Structure 1
Amino acid sequence: MQKIIIVLTVLLAFVSNVFSGELAVVSGKVIDIQTGKPLPGATVTIPDLRISVNADQSGTFKLRSVPAKGQFLVEIRFIGYETVTKTVDLSKDTDWEFALKPTLIETREVVITGTISSGSNKRNSTSVNIINKDKLLLPSSNIIDALAKSPGISQVSTGPSISKPVIRGLSYNRVVTIDNGIKQEGQQWGDEHGIEIDQFKANRVEVLKGAASLIYGSDALGGVINLLEPIPVPEGEISGEFLSNYSSNNGLTSSSLMLTGNQNGIVWRGRGTYKNAYSFKTPTGYFPNSGFNETDFSGMIGLNKSWGYSHLNFSSFRNNIGFYEPSFDDQGNYVDEDGGLFSKDDLKNRSLLYPKQDIRHYKISLNNNFVIGSGNLKLDLGYQKNQRRELEDGPDPSLFFNLNTYTGDARYYIGQKNGWEPVFGASTEIGHSENRGEEFLIPAYDTYGVGAFAYLKKNWEHSTFNMGVRYDFRKNVGKSLIADGEPLFEAFHNQFSNISGALGFTHKFTEKLNFKTNIGSAFRAPNPAELGSNGEHEGTFRYEIGNSNLQPERSYQVDAELAYDGDIINASASIYNNYIHDFIYAAHHGEFIDDLPVYNYGQVNANLYGAEASLVLHPVHFIHFENTFGYTHAQNTSLDRPLSFIPAGVLRNELRYEPEIQHVQEPFVSVGIANYFKQNRVDEEFETPTAGYTLLNASVGATFFAGKQLIKIYISGNNLLNKKYYDALSRYKPGRLDQTDLSLGIYNPGRNITFGVYVPFILKHSS
């Protein structure tokens, strides 16, 4: 790790001497399109250059140290106005004027960066959900929990501390998470592990729904979660934020502090976060030893110059999670290993009991964008260390899994010419794991992957067309292991190659009506857990056995979306169909090892299709009525039965009232209901259905001034009626009695009231 930090730091220090470019300063003004009045505080951003500036009191702004050449997409935002995106040519345009139109509804005209070519969402053929900072601040126990309220997005949960993202019914290694341009490599294959990322790091999240192997290679069958940290502040500014909240259900306390600055193009940012919770409470009582604590640190230092930018990012994530294997007395009460009842102090003790997990993830990356002539080269280099320790009865881990991953991704953008945008790219990935404990779940392994792609996009006045092709090669090498004189893991060596492709089209019928469609193929190579597992999963109470003869999954998907952005109505509807050949899944066939059901990995063909819709009504400026719907139908076509663990259909309705109160900024009161349909489409071989249910939620908040300092305060309530329910994707929902004597049957968390405060501050204003 120290050597890698030194090497990347040296690269960062010398990169400005390798690339040089002419210096330019551009200025402009942001005004109201109807009145011509200036809009002070409007934000002007060039996402691909990672620079932004705020308009002053006269609505004017100035961007320094930008390249003298090149075409870039500019995004202009101001509260209460439609977001505008425009492509500018820095060699021609140095004096800009942007006129914004007032609106009651946030529009879809925002820049998407998680696709191969950054562009307006309306000109991007991929279906994308945008989750902004205000929604990420809503009460949640982790980053995936915060995202799972958007249509098409769900979570596989193991209590409040562990959530796996699910996009249109697909999860685990079928969904890619991108953090600072780096593909997150941890334990996305496991049920009992979350995403090892600080939930407060992201300033915005883009969720790309659908096959995305063209961009990210293996694993992106279901979609991509692209976490975007804040763009560096304007030159001369030092600012930050502090947030803290407390949740009543499990005593979760979360606090995070961030500082960031920019001095003559030297940019930096640092953040620290701490979370702590005791056992969560269901409507029938507490579930023992289900608390957790999390400590995160992250930072960035870099250069924003006329040649582009180079940012060195690092992060440290540590999460300790308690586990409890249910045991009952004659009255059905939970008991400890000695047969005694848990006291109230035990259930609210923030010191975790054994068994528990200690999950650690360290990451360092160097993210670059070099302007070369009229084009630019994006280069992302990353190193990650993921460690999983399972502690059964003491501080020494019984299971210790250690994974090191090295990644590299390069993309060259030739630059726009007559509406054409060609892009070429290549990526590589090297992973090395080892087992350091006395217990083993998967074999030590090495994995290697390389890929290359070509992409072309054509823009017309009202339409866009894009196409691309990608080649990938991947190799997995599993190592044999003999434990206690018996062979535990057999060695395996396999390699796979694949060609993926995609076609996309968008068309703007009118200024308000937009259509997009995308056809794509994708693939996923089997991961080492599926190829070589042979052990007990502590958190999921089952024994898994891999299959070294598995073949790659291949996906063929089509989706389409029609969206309308009106003055008081914002609506969209989308449909999709995803056929997956050689779908990999673990199934139980009646066998037990150590009283645990055995799950063997096999393959079938599968078909997933569904629909998503949203309708937002804003009849007057103080009323906001939002409605979203999502449904996925998933079938095991080989065995003619449903796939397991597919999210239930859900309809969400929220009414938000935003009154005008003197001396109070942005006050609001909201009431919402979440209607989850019953999920009877389950694989009855090893899964139980769940009943439908409705949850009542509400929140209230406002922003106040303490002198010149803004303070945002809110109170939010989830499951206010303390409804007893099982989520269809909860790992704690009832199991089949003929499979295991554990029969968990643990309800999802009951009523939860969260009190929160958010304080953005500026220590030094921009020059």
Structure 2
Amino acid sequence: MKLKLIISCFLLLFIQFTASAADFNTIKGKVIDAKTNETLIGAVVSIPELHVSVATNANGEFTFRSVPTKGRYVVQVQYLSYKTITQTIDFASTTPLVFAMQASVVEQHEVVITGTPITASSRNNSTSATVVTKDQLQSGATNLIDALTRVAPGVSQITTSQAISKPVIRGLSYNRVVTLSDGVKQQGQQFGDEHGIEIDQNQAERVEVLRGAASLMYGSDALGGVINIIDPASPAEGNIKGEVLSSYSTNSGLTNTSLMLAGNENGFVWRGRGTYQNAHGFKTPDGYLINSGFNQTDFNGMLGVNKAWGYSHLNFSYYKNNIGFFDAEPGDELYSNSTSRTLDYPRQDIRHYKLALNNNFIMGSNSLKLDLGFQKNQRRELENSPDPSLFFDLNTYSLDAKYYLHDFNGWRPVFGISASLGHSVNKGEEVLVPAYDEYSTGAFGYVKKTWDQNTFSAGLRFDYIQNKGKQLTLDGEEVFTGFDNKFSNVSGALGYTHIFNDVLSFKANAGSAFRAPNPAELGSNGVHEGTNRYEVGSGNLSPERSYQADATLEYGSGFVTGSFGIYENYIHNYIYASNNNNEQITVTEESTGLPRSFDVYRYGQVNANLYGFEGNLTLHPVSFLHFENTFSYTRAQNRSFDRPLPLIPAGVLHNSLRFEPKVKGVHDFYISAGIDNYFKQSRVDATFETPTAAYTLVNAGIGATFKLGAQPLKVYVSGNNLTNKRYYDALSRLRPGRYSQEDPTFGVWNPGRNITFGFYLPFGTNK
């Protein structure tokens, strides 16, 4: 089966190279100031569905060559200090395009969202979404998810040290949030508390955060939302572009350096990137946490063709992360003064290999998007030697196809199918999850109707999932009994948007979704060193069933922009692991021959209700002053036992004041100051969690852009937790009570003061 899939991938690529060259089209246009009619030089014009972009030349003109001869595509135009334009263009028209941009202190009131069934502007899309730009990702964060939590409402993170962050959207995490990269669902070992997303944080040109159930398009696992990581678009024909970025953070000595280069020669497109990160242990107000450093190496690239018939891109990546791991018993020394970058044991050695073939075939006014993927995820947990104690080796093959039909009186239908095969084996001395095979197939239909200022959408999806766990017997004792579980489900979704006027719009969604239990929840039986607990699964778990609704009101004028949304999500058969009745087990460790006690966490099910609100408010009293605020709150209840659900983020209010004065000889100069207010989280599962107190963090930053010839150089300094505040985050796995119920005071402070110095240099040609 592996050989057939690989051959099929190369055959598809070969077919595209040898396909008859359809008549190609050339799209030309100009970008001007709507008030003065002056041309705008350097405005970025992009066609997200075709993965191409170009900047306007000295005359404000742009040209796209070898694009489809017909069809309707969303075109986005962006320029600093101007309101972003998103417009659907009929490529059959030969009339040159003229985009008249309006000066505005708000550039991103309306942006394009690609991670939904049909690409559209955010105002015409019912899904609650936030687009995070590359500039916003450069905030001194230690990883991609850490950066998103600072700017995207409703997004939090479950952290283990500085290198591991799991995304949380509206209180849901683990296998309930899908991370999408290169059009393929990231498949690592999402079940684990201390398992991150394993993606280079520098590769994203932008990130779309889709809040709410997205199971219609992405199947099981998308109950909470989707994080869609979008790589840079290919440059126009005959051009190259690239970037160099680097930063240094004082708290852990984190160095982050990345180089990217991309080009387009007669429709042959390519891109390559290399990244290296290295950090010693992070510093808390009490000292450096022992063995909490990491080093990370990433290589990723793309080869492909962009032609009138569409595009075919082969993406490949290699990710390697070595992470020192916190390991102590109550009473042990936690901190030191050492800034050594040498990792001690225990530690993790994580490697992720990925191939993704992304295709978009234009068939007249219709199109077919086909994404094929292969991923190998290897997770080694090294206890006291280079020989791994735990070693998960997971291979995943995936297929996703969507067929888009042309408009019928404003109706836009889409049909899709998906399939995946996961094969996991254990190669370490110890075992936690049985070797397993996981099969999934799904099909959906979706339709969208636009009339006047209204948009209506509806869809249905069917999924079938089979999990087969392998039986295992060691020394005459059965460790895993094995299981063969089959799950199927029909999901549905409705969406509606209404644009009242240029500044006010409304969107709402309602629907059902489901998530099948993962193999860890079904079959775990062993010590999980990374979580310092003994985990026990249940082969009788039922699928989670979600019923969700949300509504959002959005406003955007020249001086005030903002949104406010509410949501509720009732989940039947919600799955999580808990330690009931202080259950413990004593295990003899093979490495030392000594007995050791662990808390026992068993997977079970309850009925849960999660609801809350989120939003943002930005005030622009004058063009050079921005007062930005985001807020979110989630309340989650275990309805079966009438107590709070565990691992729910505290309410948070992010406030930032940004001052952008005009300075001669300097571009985009800014000074910012921020206050983050995290509220008390007393709603915890008292059987294994402890409350966290409220705290306030003070942040600041300064930056500017200088010209090196025709190329811009951005330099910045950002400071986080400037007062060196002692605090425990509600979702930190190192906080009191998470590692030892015997000693609830045993815990590790979150990182203290951190100042990041960095630069970003984009470069390229614009022929």
- Structure-1-length-normalised TM-score: 0.96
**Native 8 Å contact 2:705 2:715 kept in 1:** yes
Q: How does 1:122-161 map to 2 (within 5 A)?
A: 122-149=123-150, 150-161=152-163
**Native 8 Å contact 1:8 1:366 kept in 2:** yes
Provide the residue aligned with 2:172 in structure 1.
170
1:610 aligns with 2:601: no
Provide the residue aligned with 1:337 in structure 2.
none
* CA gap 1:177/1:118 in 2 versus in 1, 3 angstroms: same
* CA gap 1:479/1:368 in 2 versus in 1, 3 angstroms: same
In 1, the alpha carbon distance for the partners of 2:703 and 2:208 equals: 26
Per-residue Cα deviation, 1:332-351 (whole angstroms, up to 9, x for no partner): 634xxxxxxx864xx31111
Q: One-letter code of the match for 1:515?
A: F
Q: One-letter code of the match for 1:643?
A: L
**Native 8 Å contact 1:25 1:94 kept in 2:** no
Q: One-letter code of the match for 1:64?
A: R
**Native 8 Å contact 1:736 1:743 kept in 2:** no
1:757 aligns with 2:748: no
Provide the residue aligned with 1:208 in structure 2.
210
Provide the residue aligned with 1:634 in structure 2.
636
* Percentage of identical aligned residues: 59
Match of 1:184 among 183, 186, 204: 186
Per-residue Cα deviation, 1:553-604 (whole angstroms, up to 9, x for no partner): 0101000000111011101100000000000011111211231110000000
Provide the residue aligned with 1:71 in structure 2.
72
In 2, the alpha carbon distance for the partners of 1:737 and 1:410 equals: 44
* CA gap 1:605/1:65 in 2 versus in 1, 3 angstroms: same
Provide the residue aligned with 2:294 in structure 1.
292
Moved more, 318-327 or 469-478: 318-327
Alpha-carbon offset, residue 737 of structure 1 = 9.1
In 2, the alpha carbon distance for the partners of 1:134 and 1:737 equals: 37
* CA gap 1:429/1:737 in 2 versus in 1, 3 angstroms: closer
Provide the residue aligned with 1:50 in structure 2.
51
Alpha-carbon offset, residue 665 of structure 1 = 1.1
**Native 8 Å contact 2:291 2:325 kept in 1:** yes
Q: How does 1:531-610 map to 2 (within 5 A)?
A: 531-589=522-580, 590-594=582-586, 595-610=597-612
**SS of residue in 2 equivalent to 1:619:** strand
Match of 1:410 among 383, 401, 409: 401
Q: One-letter code of the match for 1:225?
A: I
In 1, the alpha carbon distance for the partners of 2:120 and 2:400 equals: 20
Alpha-carbon offset, residue 87 of structure 1 = 1.2
Alpha-carbon offset, residue 736 of structure 1 = 7.0
Provide the residue aligned with 2:443 in structure 1.
452
Per-residue Cα deviation, 1:168-218 (whole angstroms, up to 9, x for no partner): 000000000000100000011100111110000110100110011101000
Provide the residue aligned with 1:393 in structure 2.
384
Alpha-carbon offset, residue 14 of structure 1 = 2.8
Provide the residue aligned with 1:356 in structure 2.
347
**Native 8 Å contact 1:504 1:516 kept in 2:** yes
Provide the residue aligned with 2:222 in structure 1.
220
**SS of residue in 1 equivalent to 2:25:** strand
- Superposition RMSD in Å: 1.6
Moved more, 553-562 or 85-94: 85-94
Alpha-carbon offset, residue 94 of structure 1 = 4.1
Alpha-carbon offset, residue 73 of structure 1 = 1.1
**SS of residue in 2 equivalent to 1:135:** helix
In 1, the alpha carbon distance for the partners of 2:362 and 2:32 equals: 30
Q: One-letter code of the match for 2:138?
A: L
Number of residue pairs the alignment of both structures matches: 754
Q: One-letter code of the match for 2:301?
A: G
Provide the residue aligned with 1:685 in structure 2.
687
* CA gap 1:44/1:146 in 2 versus in 1, 3 angstroms: same
**Native 8 Å contact 2:290 2:336 kept in 1:** no
**Native 8 Å contact 2:615 2:630 kept in 1:** yes
1:482 aligns with 2:503: no
In 1, the alpha carbon distance for the partners of 2:738 and 2:349 equals: 30
Alpha-carbon offset, residue 439 of structure 1 = 0.5
Q: One-letter code of the match for 1:86?
A: Q
**Native 8 Å contact 2:287 2:336 kept in 1:** no
Alpha-carbon offset, residue 409 of structure 1 = 0.3
**SS of residue in 2 equivalent to 1:611:** strand
Q: How does 1:110-125 map to 2 (within 5 A)?
A: 110-125=111-126
Provide the residue aligned with 1:338 in structure 2.
none
Q: One-letter code of the match for 2:465?
A: R
Provide the residue aligned with 2:593 in structure 1.
none
**Native 8 Å contact 2:330 2:746 kept in 1:** no
Alpha-carbon offset, residue 693 of structure 1 = 0.2
**SS of residue in 2 equivalent to 1:663:** coil
Provide the residue aligned with 1:275 in structure 2.
277
**Native 8 Å contact 1:737 1:743 kept in 2:** no
In 1, the alpha carbon distance for the partners of 2:439 and 2:88 equals: 38
Q: How does 1:517-532 map to 2 (within 5 A)?
A: 517-532=508-523
In 2, the alpha carbon distance for the partners of 1:536 and 1:114 equals: 38
Alpha-carbon offset, residue 74 of structure 1 = 1.1
Moved more, 705-714 or 261-270: 705-714
In 1, the alpha carbon distance for the partners of 2:83 and 2:213 equals: 30
**SS of residue in 2 equivalent to 1:653:** strand
- Structure-2-length-normalised TM-score: 0.96
**Native 8 Å contact 2:375 2:395 kept in 1:** yes
**Native 8 Å contact 1:401 1:433 kept in 2:** yes
Alpha-carbon offset, residue 742 of structure 1 = 8.2
In 1, the alpha carbon distance for the partners of 2:164 and 2:638 equals: 27
Provide the residue aligned with 2:591 in structure 1.
none
Alpha-carbon offset, residue 63 of structure 1 = 1.1
**Native 8 Å contact 1:9 1:312 kept in 2:** no
Provide the residue aligned with 1:15 in structure 2.
16
Per-residue Cα deviation, 1:79-119 (whole angstroms, up to 9, x for no partner): 11111111111112442111111111133311100000000
Match of 1:248 among 250, 253, 256: 250
Alpha-carbon offset, residue 13 of structure 1 = 3.2
**Native 8 Å contact 2:396 2:420 kept in 1:** yes
* CA gap 1:93/1:500 in 2 versus in 1, 3 angstroms: farther
Alpha-carbon offset, residue 275 of structure 1 = 0.5
**Native 8 Å contact 2:78 2:107 kept in 1:** no
**Native 8 Å contact 1:326 1:742 kept in 2:** no
**Native 8 Å contact 1:711 1:757 kept in 2:** yes
Q: How does 1:437-516 map to 2 (within 5 A)?
A: 437-516=428-507
**SS of residue in 1 equivalent to 2:9:** helix
In 1, the alpha carbon distance for the partners of 2:423 and 2:303 equals: 28
Alpha-carbon offset, residue 741 of structure 1 = 4.9
* CA gap 1:32/1:417 in 2 versus in 1, 3 angstroms: farther
Q: One-letter code of the match for 2:85?
A: V
Provide the residue aligned with 1:423 in structure 2.
414
- Gap regions ≥5 residues in structure 1: 335-341
Q: How does 1:658-737 map to 2 (within 5 A)?
A: 658-735=660-737
**SS of residue in 2 equivalent to 1:170:** coil
Per-residue Cα deviation, 1:226-281 (whole angstroms, up to 9, x for no partner): 00001101111112111111111111111101011111111000000001111111
- Gap regions ≥5 residues in structure 2: 587-596
Alpha-carbon offset, residue 20 of structure 1 = 4.5
* CA gap 1:257/1:333 in 2 versus in 1, 3 angstroms: same
In 2, the alpha carbon distance for the partners of 1:151 and 1:26 equals: 37
Per-residue Cα deviation, 1:387-418 (whole angstroms, up to 9, x for no partner): 01111121111211100000000000011232
**Native 8 Å contact 1:19 1:307 kept in 2:** no
In 2, the alpha carbon distance for the partners of 1:707 and 1:89 equals: 37
* CA gap 1:392/1:738 in 2 versus in 1, 3 angstroms: closer
Alpha-carbon offset, residue 463 of structure 1 = 0.7
**SS of residue in 2 equivalent to 1:221:** coil
**SS of residue in 2 equivalent to 1:618:** strand
